[in-house]
Structure 1
Amino acid sequence: MTSAAVYFLLGLSLLLATVLPHVTRRLVISPPMVLVAVGMAIGLLPLGEGVSLEPEAHRELITHVTELTVLVSLMGVGLAIDRTLDLRSLRSWRTWSPVWRLLLVAMPLTILGTALIGWWVAGLAPAVALLIGAALAPTDPVLASDVQVGEPLTEDVDDPDGEDGPEADDDIRFALTAEAGLNDGLAFPFVHLSLLMLAGGFTLLDTGTWLGWYVLGKIAIGVTVGVGAGWLLGRQAFRARSDQLRLADTGEPLLALAALLAAYGAAELVHGYGFLAVFACAMRLRASAHGHSYQRAMHAVVERLERLLTLLVLLVLGMAMTRGLLQHLDWRGVVLALALVLVVRPAAGYVALALLPRDPDREGGLDRGETAAVAFFGVRGVGSLFYLAYASSHEHLPGEPWLWSTVAFAVIVSVLLHGLTATPAMARLDARRRASTTSG
């Protein structure tokens, strides 16, 4: 690929990143759908002949690019959530009820259901079946923007478009956003379990060690580091004694990126889950001064970077699809991906939310329609690609080409299905909510 072609593609990419969110806002298509289609079209052009797009040849690069994309997205959704979590308040915990249900019930059921299909239908070894279940289980924070909360609400900024209205932080969007922020880190224990099984020597006697360290220990470290980093940076940004150090007054929004890198790096250095640390840091930083316009400025910087990284990943994914990424896909992978998106996740989500439900008239409660929407819109995306790249760079994976084709196909199915249904479904639910509010 010549340098002129590279510059052309970069310019086209930046143009798409700028225009697409505005063009597709009122359409029944999503920016990810357009980006994948454009990537497929580019892949058919003779611009990159001789350039290998096989994921097995670029494991480390894929790991780092998808890792950074997920991290930036986690910081963005953490800064966008307006519903605080007061650890000392039982009422506050209850307003997060749908999130805990999705994390503690729906996600393990999704991992188990997908792993069973991988083992029984696809004939995968138990460790590999568990890996694909863990990789495909998390709701993605990158590609789920159509069903997530919007920009942070502030006290001193008016929204002329009305996007900060009652629906901006409704229970549906809040549940999916918070789930996406937390479940990426919670998928890691099962990824590690699959790697321990692949390495050999893991027995039932080792289960206690896995639960104590990979589940409880690393999660606790990640959350603690993230909350601590968010508290320190929030105190410095909003309440520093020196005017020069009070970044909220100077308006320097790059603090969000500094917080992201610091929280992730610190958590990984002490062997905690960095994804959880970044989300916890963003949440705590947001809680430092909830209505301050600086929150929106930080979110805007993160959102722009996320948009560019997402565009890069989806364009390359589309190019790879027309360059042989799906050549190892067979009926087993199709069945697994469709079962996950159409059956396993919706069923697991509905069971988690409908069992002993919270009163829909109270904060954190969902009616039947809202429960069905939250259960259905479990978007698969960049996080799944990261987990597979991470695992393949640490252990030899039997049937790795098939795994890449299947995971990529699952992501594409989710992009198309959820992209087509998100806008009309959310518009219908928002209209029903406004009508209910008006009649009440």
Structure 2
Amino acid sequence: MSLAPDPYIIFLTGVGLLIALVAWLPLALKRLPLSLPIVCIAIGAGLFALPPIGPAPLPWRYPDLTERFAELVVVIALMGAGLKIDRVIGWRRWAVTWRLIGITMPLGILAITGLAGWGLGLPWTIALLLAASLAPTDPVLAADVQVGPPKSGDEDEVRFGLTSEAGLNDGAAFPFVHLAILLSASAATGEPWLGEWLGYRVLWEIGGGIIGGWAIGHAFGWLTFHVSAESKLAKTGDGLIAIAAAFVSYGLTEIIHVYGFLAVFVTALTFRHTHRDHDFQGEMHAITEQVERLAMMMLLILFGGALVGGLFANVTATDIGFAVVLLLIVRPLTGWLGLLGYRAHRSEKYTLAFFGIRGVGSIYYLAYGINHLAVAGVERLWGIVGLVILMSILLHGLTVTPIMRLLDRQHGRDPDEGGCAAGLQGRAT
């Protein structure tokens, strides 16, 4: 008779502990300069350092699973980000967003491509793929600097800017991922790439994602809030409808080959604004946040396992320098350039420029690119991206609480009372 525990029983126990951590850790970390992702990575590293756990979850061993799991987490996070934005979309009202998307991100891609090509010696198409993966900020790991729940009042310019940027720049980065893929294919076959990229990958996929996301969000909003009183879905009180909207939006738009990430965020914004003041908005956001946090914690535990399993085995000193420059120079500088002329307090501009958090979105884009073109030395690329993510989680996770609390005090807000404090309750970096 074997005394070894059944793996299934171990799995159930682990899932139970993970769910308990989802509920308890945010409260424990509320006032500490420590983020939930840091704790999750530490747990994963500790677990996978134990021999009985099994092989390390290195991303190049499971390329399709890595892409799909990261994709799932980002989709849920985009729905959550869109649902909690109170500000109605508009050119002037969203001016900070357009600057971060239209100026900061392209400048970041250009700078990172140059650093990766000249500094790391990567082929230019691979350098572009790496840049497109690392340039966008992350909607999953940026929740500590995002706005609070719907109608909570946590929508100062910094939190709004970082939330809306993280929601939109996933769709805006995808054309550059496809550009790297098209350039690589063109170099091998000689086929032209510009027409397909501009006409299909930029105009059609972005335009289709916006229109598709708006239509699906409007449909879900009408079914939830505006059908006859007897059958309003809002009366069910089941916030899972938001998860359903995210999956339907992503699935339908991907079927017609437009950017599903962009569509999900637009769906969330549209769904939110079909009845902006309804209490059901809070219920939808709450369940979305819980599901997002659970999925994020699972992914980061696996990431911690990859760290102790050899993720950085092929990383060089030059790669470490590249990661430092990206986080401490490229993002702050391009963020500041994007905000030149924008009317905001200097401390707000500094904060917006500094918190360029990298995370799950970078994992997805790199996995997608590697799965769609021939790439040599994928272990090194994964090591570089993993290093940037780890450094970002540590740098931004350890500084987010003191910086945001200081910013609140400077602008006459009490970080321990009201919505702004709620927005910091243990969400991911």
Fold-level similarity (TM above 0.5): yes
Q: Is the 8 A contact 1:185 1:273 kept in 2?
A: yes
**1:24 equivalent among 23, 26, 29:** 29
Give 1:257 deviation, angstroms. Answer: 1.3
**1:54 equivalent among 50, 58, 67:** 58
Is the counterpart of residue 251 in structure 1 residue 229 in structure 2? no
Deviations 1:76-131 (A, max 9, x none): 0000000011xxxxxx3111111000000000011111111100110000000000
- In the comparison of the two structures, how many residue pairs are matched? 408
Is the counterpart of residue 40 in structure 1 residue 18 in structure 2? no
Is the counterpart of residue 5 in structure 1 residue 14 in structure 2? no
Q: Distance in 2 between matches of 1:395 and 1:198?
A: 7
TM-score by length of 1: 0.90
Aligned partner of residue 375 in structure 2, secondary structure:
coil
Unaligned runs of 5+ in 2: 1-5, 415-429
Amino acid in structure 1 at the alignment position of 2:208: I
Give 1:251 deviation, angstroms. Answer: 1.6
Q: How do 1:100-115 residues align onto structure 2 when only pairs under 5 Å count?
A: 100-115=98-113
Q: Distance in 2 between matches of 1:371 and 1:255?
A: 36
Q: Distance in 1 between matches of 2:413 and 2:208?
A: 45
Is the counterpart of residue 148 in structure 1 residue 135 in structure 2? no
Is the counterpart of residue 170 in structure 1 residue 156 in structure 2? yes
Aligned partner of residue 26 in structure 1, secondary structure:
coil
Q: Distance in 1 between matches of 2:190 and 2:124?
A: 13
Amino acid in structure 1 at the alignment position of 2:297: L
Deviations 1:18-75 (A, max 9, x none): 11111101111111111111111112112323x2422112011111111000000000
Give 1:382 deviation, angstroms. Answer: 0.4
Q: Is the 8 A contact 1:135 1:388 kept in 2?
A: yes
Q: Distance in 2 between matches of 1:78 and 1:271?
A: 22
Aligned partner of residue 142 in structure 1, secondary structure:
coil
Q: Distance in 2 between matches of 1:147 and 1:266?
A: 31
Q: For residue 93 of structure 1, what is the aligned residue in structure 2?
A: 91
Amino acid in structure 2 at the alignment position of 1:109: L
Q: Distance in 1 between matches of 2:190 and 2:131?
A: 20
**1:429 equivalent among 407, 410, 414:** 407
Give 1:204 deviation, angstroms. Answer: 10
Q: Distance in 2 between matches of 1:386 and 1:420?
A: 24
Q: For residue 156 of structure 1, what is the aligned residue in structure 2?
A: none
Q: Distance in 2 between matches of 1:15 and 1:240?
A: 38
Give 1:214 deviation, angstroms. Answer: 0.9
**2:116 equivalent among 100, 115, 118:** 118
What CA RMSD, in Å, does the superposition of the two structures yield over aligned residues?
1.6
Is the counterpart of residue 370 in structure 1 residue 348 in structure 2? yes
Give 1:383 deviation, angstroms. Answer: 0.4
Amino acid in structure 2 at the alignment position of 1:99: T
Amino acid in structure 2 at the alignment position of 1:172: V
Deviations 1:173-217 (A, max 9, x none): 000000000000111100011111222348795324312221121
Q: Is the 8 A contact 1:122 1:333 kept in 2?
A: yes
Unaligned runs of 5+ in 1: 86-91, 154-163, 360-365
Give 1:395 deviation, angstroms. Answer: 1.6
**1:340 equivalent among 320, 326, 338:** 326
Q: For residue 336 of structure 2, what is the aligned residue in structure 1?
A: 350
Deviations 1:119-164 (A, max 9, x none): 01100000000000000011100000110011111xxxxxxxxxx3
Amino acid in structure 2 at the alignment position of 1:15: A
Q: Is the 8 A contact 1:5 1:47 kept in 2?
A: no
**2:212 equivalent among 215, 225, 240:** 225
Is the counterpart of residue 70 in structure 1 residue 74 in structure 2? yes
